[in-house]
Amino acid sequence: MNVDPQVIGEKIAEAAAVYGPKVLLAIITLFIGSWVVGVVGKIFKKALKKVNFDETLLPYLVGITTTLLKAILYISVIGMLGVQTTSFIAVLGAAGLAVGMALQGSLGNFAGGVLILIFKPIKKGDLIEAAGVTGVVESIQPFVTVLLSPDNVVHYIPNGALSSGSIKNYSINQQRRVDLTFGISYTDDIDKAKKIFEDVAKACPHALKDIGPDIFVSGLGDSSVDFAVRPYCKPDHYWDIHIYMHENVKKELDKAGISIPFPQRDVHVFNSTVS
């Protein structure tokens, strides 16, 4: 088979004349468009910072915006090359559906992370209890939230479970009540014991001075008169109050001669005479 070089040259020249401008325009559009998307992303980020937008939500919003702009740019460039974008978009949609089904759990966690950042039930530094774990929020990542428990263990909680489950946030209110119970003997002076509880609670360096403490008899047990002692503190000082109160209440009750009873029973022995 003979191939005429002149014919091949003419075909190449014809193709270059037809597609050359389109390819060149597509390449120029791609480079300029990518630069514009980058600039828009930076401007958008600066604008959000100026209005004091949430720092944790900012990367999500900027990332989603730039991704959508890039997707539009790429589809436009493909259209410039003569490719039917309608069918291309349909293929992308089908592929996206398949990937979405495969990554259903991960996408659920991602959506949960977005919901957490939008509605803000928690934020970095909060002490929370969720998914059976109590700890301080170290970071809210796209798919998981990182908690540091009091025993210095790092926990990774999926955002899907976190956003759909119950969350206790101990850091939202700046006044936290510490519920304590102390018992005294039935033979001891109630008013004297109550004064000791009040003095110890007020002397605690971490107790709030403008509120509480609440002190009252909460019950009459089998072996003791039970007092509810409830000082208030900042959330960060909960365990400081807890430890201080138990230690110093014991010391002051010992000084005053007031006993802390333990469970006991009275045994009555009846002598019977057998004739």
Confidence of residue 191 (pLDDT cuts 50, 70, 90): very high
Instruction: Read off the pLDDT of each residue in 51-62 and give the average, rounded to a whole number.
Output: 66
Q: What is the pLDDT of residue 52?
A: 64
Entry pTM: 0.58
pLDDT above 80 for 230? yes
Structure letter (DSSP) for residue 172: S
Distance CA 176, CA 188 (A): 31
End-to-end, the C-alpha distance of the chain in Å comes to 139
Q: What Rg value do the Cα atoms of the chain yield, rounded? A: 36
Find the mean pLDDT for residues 119-148.
Answer: 88
Quote the pLDDT of residue 56.
Answer: 62
Peptide linkage before 213 cis (omega within 30 of 0): yes
User: What are the backbone angles phi and psi of residue 217, rounded to the nearest 5°?
Assistant: -75, 120
Q: What is the pLDDT of residue 12?
A: 63
Torsion of CA 104, 106, 107, 111, to 10 degrees: 130
All domains of the chain in start order, with CATH = 12-102 (1.10.287.1260), 121-169 (2.30.30.60), 176-255 (3.30.70.100)
Q: What is the pLDDT of residue 66?
A: 84
Q: How high is the pLDDT of residue 150? A: 87
CA 232: distance to chain centroid?
25
